[in-house]
Amino acid sequence: MFIAEEIDIKTTLKKIFGFDSFRGAQEQIVKSILSGKNTFVIMPTGAGKSLCYQLPAIVQEGTAIVISPLIALMKNQVDQLNALGVNAQFLNSTLNKTEMNRVKKEVLNGEVKLLYVAPESLNKEENIEFLRKAKISFVAIDEAHCISEWGHDFRPEYRRIKAIIHEVGNLPIIALTATATPKVQVDIQRNLDMEEAALFKTSFNRKNLFYQIVPKNDPNKQVIRFVKSQKAKAGIVYCLSRKKVEEIADLLVVNGVKALPYHAGLDSSIRIANQDAFLKEDCEVIVATIAFGMGIDKPDVRFVVHYDTPKSLEGYYQETGRGGRDGIDGQCLMLYSMDDIIKLEKFNKDKTVNERDNAKHLLYEMASYAESNICRRKLLLHYFGEYLEKDCGFCDNCKKPKVNFEGMEDVLLILNTVVNTEQRFATDHIINVIRGKETEYITSYNHDELEEFGEGDDQDEAYWESAIKQITIQEFLTKDVDNNSALKITKKGLDFIKKPYSITLSKVVTPDVSEEIVDAGANVSAYDEVLFSLLKNLRKKVAKEKNLPPYVIFQDPSLEEMSTSYPTSADELANIQGVGMGKVQKFGKQFLEVITKYVAENDIITAKDVVVKQAANKSKIKIFIIQQIDRKVELEEICETKDISPDNLLTEIEHICFSGTKLNLDYYIDKNIDYDKQDAILEFFMTAESDDIATAMKTLGPDYTEEECRIMRIKFMSDVAN
């Protein structure tokens, strides 16, 4: 098997994809594939999964087969690779016979590096025969959760993939997915015969997402109220049916929200146009079926609403994950109703018994999550096999006060019941024993003779179900995914039985149908929303005219302050946070015209006397810094002279720059930051949605320091904004 040298990988990464370094585990994954190992990758959306198989395909001889379930995504990836100068093709039902023959000929001639194939196309004998003749480097299986009957998007065609690969040859496999529970993970590996595969799994924790669920009560009004409260931010509203998508999109438009529908029933040209409008900020909200968002790279989606209850927790996680990909907070709201669960169960009636049971299990997990009063993030991460020690503090259940109680005796009862039933039974059986239910199973196993039988008959089923879930999350118990989710006791549980101690549990709280949507804790601003909207639209127009990102003109906090203090002169505008006279001269005229007109039309009395005049009273340290930079004095020397830390000096320089003063740090930058890095950072700020340093470092990779990003941001803002 061909193994590329590290320098070849890095060279190709830069030459083809334009990146100086890998992100996260990408490099280890690429090397794993190149060494011929089967590789299993579980990585969240937006973390760079595609590059993990595209790069090794490019540097190796032969063609890599990429199995992908969505034709639209296939075409999207092929177009992107072709634009990078990589010969990538696809085989699916959209091609005619002539086009298929052309693709096959190019593959057999060794010209194609990646061949994307739909699982249905892979099942055709003529295509299997063709692949036998080709030189195949490895097989990549994208959206690998489709293999598992326990996954949220099971595709029967995926179950035959391994058999077909065997027919083609003994090839390495890389399976990739953004969402897989431990049970799904095991099922994928077993089905692909890759239990010994190198496993790369990153955390599922999206710390910036606020999860909240409210009972579905007058849902149209709930959605309107919530979306309007988001003040024209970008968002997605998910509905289960195409009809409901159209209805909610129309409803939002009638209520003054720029909304568009997206579902498979729309003409493809309309779908593409609506998607582009959303990406370009010509539309605030997309109302869509769950297909929307796959492969969509919009980092600033600020909220995701589920109008209907999702079919599974995996689906819910993946869909909410389309919010807040820029690292800034995003709100995830679900309107929950047991009626939705019942309706979804009816949809499954025509499936096979096995598929129906699996779908029912996924719905049960979804309902259990929605009705729980436990920390949402704890529950979600536990579902994906992760343990969160403390409550997150950033979900509706954490924001609402809980009713806690001493649970030592009840925990002992549960653990002893699990042990004395030989750890062979799932939650429902354990609860029936505790509550004294004489079912057929209980009597056949003589569990009605156990000391624990009926000891908890004073509490209902929901109480015990919640208690079991809580202590499972706390790792006193675990579920055996290979044995009907039988409860097993852990070492922590056994230690507790030997030496019990005080433990706090939370009571089940019945949801109130009049429950209000919880405030995520964001700061509430008192600015004039109408003026803010006018200024935001003007900023977008100016940005398009000058071909600059909107934040370069003025950032949101500056627009908010303008919408609070109503500056109508150049001096007043220069005193707004993040503006300064430099920006006033460059961009200020049109903004002052809009504010002046708005003030006149609405008879607004401005509080000019309250505005702090700072421009003419700059501190001595700021003047000193400007003078030293003008003289090209090294930053380290400025720090020593004024006895300030490098971090504090950078903060002072940022304040000077963001207030509109042009600074030339080229003398320092050229000496301390190599040119490739300069170009990469400047390109990031030119195309990014915001100038957030954390986002820049995350995007650019570990080779870029915070200091480099901050200094280059100063240069960028000085060059284009001041």
* Domain termination site, one of 616, 632, 667: 616
Regarding predicted confidence, which is higher, 16 or 491?
491
Do the domain assignments include residue 517?
no
Torsion of CA 244, 245, 247, 248, to 10 degrees: 110
- 563 and 625 part of one domain: no
**What is the rounded distance in angstroms from the CA atom of residue 384 to the CA atom of residue 364?**
16
Q: What is the total count of domains within the chain?
A: 5
Is the pLDDT assigned to residue 543 strictly greater than 90? no
- 37 and 159 part of one domain: yes
- Mind listing the pLDDT tens digit for each residue in 460-469? 988 898 899 8
Is the pLDDT assigned to residue 700 strictly greater than 50? yes
Domain of 48, in residue numbers: 6-201
Residue 349, SS3? Answer: coil
DSSP state for residue 395 in the 8-state scheme: B
CB-count exposure of residue 605 (10 Å: 0-12, 13-18, 19+): exposed
Mean pLDDT of 338-345: 81
Give the tokens for residue 53. Answer: 């198989």
Please report, for the domain that includes residue 498, its CATH number. Answer: 1.10.10.10
Is the pLDDT assigned to residue 490 strictly greater than 60? yes
Pick from 606, 590, 470: nearest CA to 528: 606
**What is the rounded distance in angstroms from the CA atom of residue 57 to the CA atom of residue 135?**
12
- 589 and 662 part of one domain: no
Q: Do 508 and 680 touch, CB atoms closer than 8 A?
A: no
Residue 262, SS3? Answer: strand
pLDDT of residue 578: 65
pLDDT of residue 518: 61
Do the domain assignments include residue 394?
no
Is the pLDDT assigned to residue 617 strictly greater than 70? no
pLDDT of residue 615: 31
Is the pLDDT assigned to residue 697 strictly greater than 70? yes
Please report, for the domain that includes residue 48, its CATH number. Answer: 3.40.50.300
Q: In the structure, what pLDDT confidence band is assigned to residue 346 with cuts at 50, 70 and 90?
A: confident
Averaged confidence pLDDT in the chain: 83
**What is the rounded distance in angstroms from the CA atom of residue 657 to the CA atom of residue 579?**
9
Q: Do 429 and 461 touch, CB atoms closer than 8 A?
A: no
- 195 and 107 part of one domain: yes
Do the domain assignments include residue 361?
no
Q: In the structure, what pLDDT confidence band is assigned to residue 201 with cuts at 50, 70 and 90?
A: confident
Do the domain assignments include residue 399?
no
- What's the alpha-carbon Rg for the chain, to the nearest Å? 29
Q: In the structure, what pLDDT confidence band is assigned to residue 582 with cuts at 50, 70 and 90?
A: low
Q: Do 234 and 300 touch, CB atoms closer than 8 A?
A: yes
pLDDT of residue 523: 39
- 70 and 177 part of one domain: yes
Residue 1's CB is within 10 A of a number of other CB atoms, namely 11
pLDDT of residue 152: 60
pLDDT of residue 524: 39
Helical H runs in 547-632?
Answer: 550-553, 556-565, 570-574, 580-583, 589-601, 620-630
pLDDT of residue 521: 53
pLDDT of residue 519: 58
Do the domain assignments include residue 126?
yes
Pick from 650, 673, 635, 532: nearest CA to 591: 532
Pick from 37, 30, 83, 71: nearest CA to 53: 30
Task: Give 176's strand partners.
Answer: 41
pLDDT of residue 7: 47
Q: Do 318 and 45 touch, CB atoms closer than 8 A?
A: yes
Pick from 61, 168, 56: nearest CA to 111: 61
As separate numbers, helices (DSSP H) first and strands (DSSP E) second, the chain gives 35, 17
SS3 for 54-91, per residue?
A: HHHHHHCCCEEEEECCCHHHHHHHHHHHHHCCCCEEEE
- 230 and 219 part of one domain: yes
pLDDT of residue 66: 94
- 96 and 111 part of one domain: yes
Q: In the structure, what pLDDT confidence band is assigned to residue 18 with cuts at 50, 70 and 90?
A: low
Pick from 284, 40, 44, 312: nearest CA to 174: 40
Regarding predicted confidence, which is higher, 145 or 73?
145
Mean pLDDT of 123-131: 86
Of all residues in the chain, the percent with pLDDT exceeding 90 is 30
Please report, for the domain that includes residue 599, its CATH number. Answer: 1.10.150.80
Provide, for the chain, the percentages of residues in helix, strand and coil under a 3-state DSSP scheme, each rounded to the nearest 5.
Answer: 50, 10, 40
- 315 and 218 part of one domain: yes
pLDDT of residue 718: 83
**What is the rounded distance in angstroms from the CA atom of residue 285 to the CA atom of residue 258?**
6
pLDDT of residue 273: 86
**What is the rounded distance in angstroms from the CA atom of residue 245 to the CA atom of residue 260?**
9
* Domain termination site, one of 143, 168, 201: 201
The H or E element containing residue 40 is strand 39-42
DSSP state for residue 702 in the 8-state scheme: T
Cα-flanking dihedrals φ and ψ of residue 137, to 5°?
-85, -45
**What is the rounded distance in angstroms from the CA atom of residue 51 to the CA atom of residue 22?**
9
- 581 and 610 part of one domain: yes
Regarding predicted confidence, which is higher, 372 or 612?
372
Cα 91 → chain centroid = 30
pLDDT of residue 264: 81
Any idea which of 218-227, 334-343, 612-621, 636-645 has the lowest mean pLDDT? 612-621
Is the pLDDT assigned to residue 39 strictly greater than 90? yes
**What is the rounded distance in angstroms from the CA atom of residue 697 to the CA atom of residue 712?**
12
Pick from 318, 52, 291: nearest CA to 184: 318
Do the domain assignments include residue 363?
no
Find tokens 């909107």 and name the residue.
Answer: 550
CB-count exposure of residue 446 (10 Å: 0-12, 13-18, 19+): exposed
Across 337-341, 370-374, 502-506, 600-604, which has the greatest mean pLDDT?
A: 502-506
Regarding predicted confidence, which is higher, 719 or 285?
285
What angle (nearest 5°) sits at the alpha carbon of residue 463, between those of residues 483 and 441?
A: 40
**What is the rounded distance in angstroms from the CA atom of residue 333 to the CA atom of residue 223?**
9
Q: Do 40 and 188 touch, CB atoms closer than 8 A?
A: yes
- 605 and 653 part of one domain: no
Q: Do 16 and 84 touch, CB atoms closer than 8 A?
A: yes
- Mind listing the pLDDT tens digit for each residue in 650-680? 888 888 787 667 788 988 998 888 888 998 8
Do the domain assignments include residue 390?
no
pLDDT of residue 411: 95
* Domain termination site, one of 506, 540, 565: 506
**What is the rounded distance in angstroms from the CA atom of residue 137 to the CA atom of residue 33?**
10
- Mind listing the pLDDT tens digit for each residue in 92-109? 877 888 988 999 999 999
**What is the rounded distance in angstroms from the CA atom of residue 106 to the CA atom of residue 113?**
10
Residue 529, SS3? Answer: helix
Is the pLDDT assigned to residue 379 strictly greater than 60? yes
Q: Do 487 and 427 touch, CB atoms closer than 8 A?
A: yes
The total number of residues shown for the chain amounts to 722
pLDDT of residue 526: 53
- 45 and 16 part of one domain: yes
Please report, for the domain that includes residue 625, its CATH number. Answer: 1.10.10.1390
**What is the rounded distance in angstroms from the CA atom of residue 573 to the CA atom of residue 504?**
55
Pick from 44, 56, 46: nearest CA to 13: 56
pLDDT of residue 49: 82
Which pairing describes strands 504-506 and 404-406: parallel, antiparallel, or unpaired? antiparallel
- 290 and 343 part of one domain: yes
pLDDT of residue 72: 61
CB-count exposure of residue 75 (10 Å: 0-12, 13-18, 19+): middle
**What is the rounded distance in angstroms from the CA atom of residue 114 to the CA atom of residue 88?**
5
Is the pLDDT assigned to residue 328 strictly greater than 80? no
Q: Do 224 and 250 touch, CB atoms closer than 8 A?
A: no
**What is the rounded distance in angstroms from the CA atom of residue 318 to the CA atom of residue 179?**
7
CB-count exposure of residue 615 (10 Å: 0-12, 13-18, 19+): middle
Cα-flanking dihedrals φ and ψ of residue 600, to 5°?
-65, -45
Do the domain assignments include residue 409?
yes
Residue 288, SS3? Answer: strand
